[in-house]
Every structure is written in structure tokens, then in C-alpha cells.
């Protein structure tokens, strides 16, 4: 999915922009060279997209007594991504729901991943700012930036689910405005500027400790198909995290062009704004087998959020109100839409079969393809798909090198 705040009914989260300490370019050398490459690089557009992993699946509570090892698959995938030159790991923030429910605090997870990895970037996708004090957000992620050697990226979201606002209920209803206000506080605090706050002993200025490694982390926000949201992200110097669930590749290209034009109008380098596109991903050796194995997990994933499912089907040309459908009707409709969705908007199939989707997304102007891998395929299949995803990453890069020769 793509984002709003992390959640199923809101397509997943965001991708970052501008100056920041960036990880070495994946695939640009040997593993040893990549691991030791200097960390300080400006993130800019490239003709060949980077590949990253994203986790935002449905995790129902296991039976009592069966709660060990919930994060092992994620840790294993993180180590794989780090070893094989992937660009980033993306983690959402989600509360009080099995959908994304393993991720109530992405900073804690990123801290754990920082000790399991050496070079892959660790991106929040996204921190729901209105649920937090911006000082605390900066403190937590500054710690992770130090633990990881400057590999943090921050996606921010405004939130959408009223239940999440138990932390600050008074902010619900103005959460979008609150997000942009808090965003500037996080940025100022991160840069080392003081913030004036009420303390137990009157108003005092406070400063961030520990100081982060990066002068400014890459920062993103999650948008889907609303053109105004792309322009707003550009105005605030934020990168983009989006998806193809409710927009076509052609619409994506128009929105990315609009985003870069808006950056230029606001005096920002248009190519320094980073655009990441989330795609449901499961790859194997046989097209038909892989599509069949992914069908039921995808159907469950879509039906976990009727609003999300409705947006996808309408975007594919089925103008219907799914709230009136029976379970059997929903199943039939998804079967109709599934093949087309896989062909045009996902990486489900074989390496060769999904290459046209990668090429189309890259041609649309995306800098990063973010593979959403935990949409419900069994752990063994998820593991088996990772080497194929790496083969796709390497194939994409090699084709680009050959085309330039």
C-alpha cells in the first residue's frame, strides 16, 4: 500500500528528499567496498531506481504461549537486504490493530535493526507526528542515528484513525496542520536550535542530546494520488512515498512531474526530492505458480480494508460500491482485478515478467522501488522470494549499465 499514516486503509508511507547523509549507492561496487564507502552523500535522482524493503502486514495475535520470535523474519530480511545492496528498510507506525500491529514504535525497531545491519538505511515510514511530542521524536531518532552511524530517514504522517489519538485527542481534526507545525520543530531541534518549553520551573530553552550524526536526515511524507499533496510535499521540502494502488503509472508520472516542478518554483533542486514507490512484491521461478501462491494473501490483504480494496478496484476501472457486496461477490471481483493489478502495479510473478513494471515506474521518475513483502505470503515463501528480488535489482542495474555502454 501507500501511505497516509501507516495503515491498511491508508496506502503506506513516504519517501525522502534533500540533503542528508545518504548510505552508499547500492550495487555500486563490491560488498566490502559498499560497506566502507563514505556515508556523506547527497541523495539525488538516478536513472536506475534503488530497491528497498517495506513491512506493513497483518499480524493477528498468536495463541497464548506462542509469542516468541515475532520479529525474526523481519530481522532475517533486514540482514539479507544489508548484505545484498538494498537501499533501505521501511517501518511504519501503527497502533491498536493487527494490521501493522507489530510496529507501534518504529524507532525501537530501527534501533534493533541498527545493530543487525551495517549500511542499509533505516527509514520511518512514517512517524505519525501528531501522536508525539516533536522533542521526543527528535531524541529517539537521534539515538538511532548515532547507533546506526547516520543511516536514519524520517517519513512523517498526520494520522487518520481517531483511535490512534488516545495520546493527544485534542489534536484530532487539525492533525494535518499539526503535522506540518511539528515537522518544523523536529527540523529545528535536530539542527541544534533550542526550543522554548514550559518546565516544572517556568519556561526554559532545551536542546537536543545526543546530537545526531546527520546534519539533517532525509525526510518524506506519504501521499497517494492527490496532485495537491505532491505540491504540498514539495513546498515543505519533503520527499514522497506513494504507491500504485489508486493511481496508474501514467498518473504517477504526471504527479512526479508536478512535484518536481513545484520544488523548482519554491527554489529547491527538483532532482533532490526523492520519490519512493511501494509495490506488493513476491517473486518466484514460475509465473503461474507465483501468481497463484500470492492470490489468497493479496485477497485477504485487500479485504482487511474495504476502503483500500474499493480504491484499487475503482482505479482499475470497476466503478462499484463494495459495501453492498457479499463475500462471494467480493471474491469474484478481486479475481477479475487481480491479474490486471499484478500485470500493471505489482512485482508479483517472475523476474523477467515484472521487469516492465520496474521500467515503467523508473520512467515515471521514481528514485526508489520499495517492495512490500509481508502482505500475507507464508514466511517460507517470503524468504524464498528475496533472492529473486535481488536478482531483479541486479538485472535492472545491469540493463541500465549496458544501455549506457
Task: Provide the pLDDT for residue 245.
Answer: 84
Residue 349: closest CA among 391, 299, 388, 379? 388
Rounded average pLDDT over 262-284 = 97
Angle between helices 249-265 and 227-235 (to 10 degrees): 30
DSSP string, 293-326: HHHHHHHHHHHT-HHHHHHHHHHTT----GGG--
Rounded to whole angstroms, the Cα distance separating 316 from 311 reads: 9
SS3 content of the chain, % helix, strand, coil (to 5): 45, 15, 40
- pLDDT over 70 for what percent of the chain? 78
Element (H, E) at 397: helix 379-404
pLDDT tens across 350-377, in order? 999 999 999 999 999 999 999 999 888 9
Interatomic CA distance for residues 265 and 274, integer angstroms: 17
pLDDT tens profile 19-55? 333 333 333 343 433 433 333 334 445 679 999 999 9
Residue 137 CA: distances (Å) to CA of 34, 59, 350? 30, 25, 40
Looking at the DSSP bridge assignments, the partners of residue 277 are: 242, 369
CB 199 within 8 Å of CB 192: no
Q: Which domains does the chain have, with CATH numbers?
A: 50-59+69-404 (3.20.20.30)
Sequence-separated (6 or more) residues with CB below 8 Å from residue 202: none
Give the confidence band of 58 by pLDDT, cuts at 50, 70, 90.
low
Q: What's the pLDDT score for residue 300?
A: 81
For residue 73, give every residue at least 6 positions away whose Cβ sits within 8 Å of its Cβ, in sequence order, or none: 374, 379, 382, 383
The per-residue pLDDT for range 139-155, each reduced to its tens digit, is 999 999 999 999 999 99
> How does residue 307 score in pLDDT terms, banded at 50, 70 and 90?
low
* pLDDT tens-digit series, residues 194-241: 999 999 999 999 999 999 999 999 999 999 888 999 999 999 999 999
Amino acid at each position: 500500500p501507500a501511505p497516509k499514516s501507516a495503515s491498511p486503509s491508508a496506502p503506506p508511507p513516504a519517501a525522502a528528499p534533500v540533503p542528508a547523509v545518504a548510505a552508499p549507492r547500492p550495487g555500486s561496487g563490491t560488498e566490502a567496498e559498499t560497506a566502507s564507502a563514505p556515508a556523506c552523500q547527497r541523495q539525488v535522482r538516478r536513472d536506475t531506481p534503488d530497491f528497498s524493503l517495506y513491512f506493513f502486514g497483518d499480524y493477528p495475535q498468536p495463541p497464548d504461549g506462542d509469542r516468541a520470535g515475532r520479529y525474526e523474519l523481519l530481522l532475517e530480511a533486514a540482514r539479507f537486504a544489508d548484505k545484498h545492496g538494498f537501499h533501505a528498510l521501511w517501518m511504519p507506525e501503527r497502533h491498536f490493530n493487527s494490521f501493522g500491529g507489530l510496529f507501534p514504535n518504529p524507532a525501537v525497531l530501527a534501533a534493533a535493526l541498527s545493530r543487525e545491519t551495517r549500511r542499509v538505511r533505516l527509514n520511518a515510514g512514517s512517524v505519525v507526528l501528531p501522536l508525539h511530542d516533536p522533542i521526543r521524536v527528535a531524541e529517539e531518532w537521534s539515538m538511532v542515528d548515532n547507533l546506526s552511524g547516520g543511516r536514519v530517514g524520517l517519513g512523517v504522517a498526520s494520522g487518520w484513525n481517531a483511535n490512534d489519538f488516545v495520546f493527544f485527542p485534542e489534536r484530532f481534526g487539525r492533525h494535518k496542520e499539526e503535522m506540518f507545525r511539528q515537522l518544523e520543530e523536529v527540523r529545528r531541534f535536530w539542527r541544534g536550535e533550542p526550543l522554548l518549553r514550559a518546565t516544572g520551573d517556568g519556561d526554559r530553552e532545551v536542546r537536543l542530546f545526543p546530537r545526531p550524526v546527520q546534519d539533517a536526515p532525509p525526510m518524506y511524507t506519504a501521499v497517494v494520488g492527490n496532485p495537491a499533496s505532491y505540491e504540498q510535499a514539495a513546498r515543505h521540502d519533503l520527499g514522497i512515498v506513494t504507491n500504485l494502488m489508486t493511481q496508474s503509472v501514467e498518473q504517477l508520472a504526471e504527479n512526479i512531474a508536478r512535484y518536481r516542478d513545484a520544488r523548482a518554483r519554491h527554489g529547491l533542486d527538483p532532482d533532490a526530492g526523492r520519490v519512493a514507490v511501494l509495490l506488493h512484491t513476491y517473486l518466484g521461478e514460475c509465473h503461474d505458480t507465483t501468481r497463484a501462491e500470492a492470490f489468497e494473501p493479496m485477497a485477504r490483504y485487500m479485504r482487511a480494508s474495504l476502503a483500500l480494496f474499493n480504491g484499487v478496484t475503482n482505479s482499475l476501472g470497476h466503478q462499484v460500491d463494495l459495501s453492498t457486496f457479499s463475500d462471494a461477490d467480493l471474491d469474484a471481483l478481486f479475481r477479475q482485478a487481480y491479474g490486471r493489478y499484478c500485470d500493471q502495479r505489482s512485482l508479483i510473478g517472475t523476474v523477467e515478467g515484472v521487469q516492465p513494471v520496474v521500467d515503467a515506474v523508473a520512467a515515471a521518475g521514481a528514485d526508489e522501488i520499495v517492495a512490500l513483502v509481508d502482505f500475507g505470503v507464508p514466511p517460507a515463501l517470503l524468504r524464498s522470494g528475496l533472492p529473486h528480488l535481488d536478482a531483479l535489482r541486479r538485472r535492472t542495474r545491469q540493463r541500465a549499465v549496458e544501455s549506457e555502454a
